[in-house]
Amino acid sequence: SVDFGPNLYHESLVKVSTPSEHTNLPIEEELTKIMTIEFSKRSLKDFSKLIRLIDQRLRELSIERSVLIGLRSEVMGALRETLLQQKREFDERRVVYHVFNEQTHDPHTISDELNIDEESVKRILLSLRKELT
């Protein structure tokens, strides 16, 4: 999937997986019921109903995901404006934005990805920790 917006670009592959014993979705129970029925007595109507339920749930999740991505984009935009209004240093803004956007706190990784010396990144992260606690 690809998510994009004014403050977002994210690519990911979605691996289709089989249900596990930890999911316990009602739809899985419906499938289990169908699968326990002898082949000759299974109804196409049951399969059709199950597929419709799955598709409906996927649509609902897609809509919810879209709304959450939009909200995330708004939050990141507000963060950007806040950092600008607070007149934070350029590298500090970049590090803060990167930490929030990428959810990484590793100074070495941030330093490499943003091309900022590691000591500066550590100083900024230390300041952030104080501010966030």
Closest by CA position to 97, among listed 118, 84, 74, 80: 80
Number of H-type helices and E-type strands within the chain = 5, 2
Candidate from 18-22, 80-84, 89-93 with smallest mean pLDDT: 18-22
| pTM recorded for the entire structure | 0.72
Contact, 104 vs 75, CB < 8 A? no
22-72: per-residue pLDDT in tens? 567 778 888 888 888 888 888 888 889 889 999 999 999 999 999 999 999
In the chain, where the domains are located: 1-12+24-86, 88-133
